[in-house]
Amino acid sequence: MSTASTERPLALVVDDEPSMRDIVTFALETQDFETCTAGSAEAAWALLQRRSVDLVVLDVMLPGLSGVELCRRIAQTTGIPVILLTALGETSRRIAGLEAGAADYVAKPFHPRELALRAAGLVRRSPLGDGQLTHGPLTVNLRSATAWVAGRRVDLTNHEFRLVAAFAGSPGETLPFRRLLLTGWGDPDLPGGRELLKTAVYRLRMKLGTASRGADAMIRSVRGVGYAFDPDAAEGEEATVTEP
């Protein structure tokens, strides 16, 4: 990441078998990754709400929430590349995972070096690149969880940062309410979620507009659907903040 180009990429390893987590983390560390681990999809999702990672290595067979469902959540909300770990005969699960947004898969048993090299290649080719997203006047650094508008740092809450990162990762795309609630609060069906999201977007627009005139216009309401991010809207706009 441009402000942290010397930092090692961080990989999250998700597997309910401690021995497999050890094998995968050792393999990744030989390719200069830092690692963190989780034994379930639920624990992994909670960790992803607190930390910015560059790669997820995910076992398909997990207790509770499935690896495929976790993969879908990650693909919908973060764009972090996912490598699936599958048993040799799990063709249907492998296909389901790829359809859910996985970037690659490795069948067990696997050679640790092959996994590590695939992981390194995915991180190099990731659209997240060096972890810094820049669109118009907005720059978002995913590793440091910071944002700037026209060179001025914007002081954001955790929820606001997750929202602005989602917008920056999907320019021009309308993000539905449920997807934004999943991204910001980890629950697409949060009671009172629409009002909570409306308030958070309003405050986020205020902060963007305060940092740079017209920047609040980058987040556009799509009635009845969600919100869209249009970085070009900041050009030549007045810094007026309206209710979403």
What's the sign of the alpha-carbon dihedral 18, 93, 57, 167?
negative
* pLDDT of 2 above 60: no
Which comes out higher in pLDDT, residue 206 or 235? 206
pLDDT digits (tens, 9 = 90+) for 106-134: 888 888 889 999 999 888 776 555 567 88
State whether residue 165 is helix, strand or coil: helix
Which comes out higher in pLDDT, residue 99 or 26? 26
Q: Where are the alpha helices (DSSP H) in the chain?
A: 18-30, 41-50, 67-77, 91-99, 112-125, 158-169, 177-185, 193-211
pLDDT digits (tens, 9 = 90+) for 74-94: 887 777 899 999 886 677 877
Question: What's the pTM?
Answer: 0.65
Averaged pLDDT for residues 62-70: 91
Kindly state the helix (H) or strand (E) to which residue 220 belongs, with its residue range: strand 219-222
Q: What's the one-letter identity of residue 108?
A: K
Task: Kindly report the average pLDDT of the chain as a whole number.
Answer: 85
What is residue 5's predicted lDDT score, i.e. its pLDDT?
40
